[in-house]
Amino acid sequence: MSSSSMALRDMQRDLEAKANDLAKIQKEIAKNHQLRKKYTIQLGENELVLKELDLLEDDANVYKLIGPVLVKQDLAEANANVRKRIEYISAELKRIDATLQDNEGQQNSKREAMMKLQQRLQSIQAGKAKA
């Protein structure tokens, strides 16, 4: 009798631990979603800028706001900078997508493990109640 109730307690503690893990992963997923949103917005903005820069004539003046200072920039340089940023942001987005997929896989497997444990626990408790 006592051994089975100890096993019961162990299982309950295991269940709690699994629940905590699940909550942690869900927080990770939420954080990654936020990050992904931020990067997507930045990517969109940079692409708009690139489009505008492309429409310009080669001799037009481009200025960049660095702090409180408007600094004159070369059109070619501005183009290169924006393109590089777009590349960087796209790479970050891909990385985050991979992480998100990974996290979701982990979340699903942990959820399954939790459910199985819960079912076992419930069936044991039901068995004890009958006895």
Q: Binding residues for other proteins, per CB under 8 A? A: 42, 45-46, 48-49, 52-53, 56, 60-66, 70, 73, 78, 82, 85
From the CB of 8, what's the least distance to other proteins, in Å?
29
Report the residue number, 77 or 102, with the smaller CB distance to other proteins. 77
Give buried/exposed letters for 19-53 (b at 16+ CB in 10 A, else e).
eeebeebeebbeebeeebeebeebbeebeebbeeb
From the CB of 63, what's the least distance to other proteins, in Å?
4
Report the 10 Å Cβ neighbour count for 98.
10
Report the residue number, 17 or 41, with the smaller CB distance to other proteins. 41
From the CB of 70, what's the least distance to other proteins, in Å?
6
Cβ(128)–Cβ(40) under 8 Å?
no
From the CB of 34, what's the least distance to other proteins, in Å?
14
CA distances from 39 to 19, 82, 99 (A): 30, 14, 14
Report the residue number, 72 or 130, with the smaller CB distance to other proteins. 72
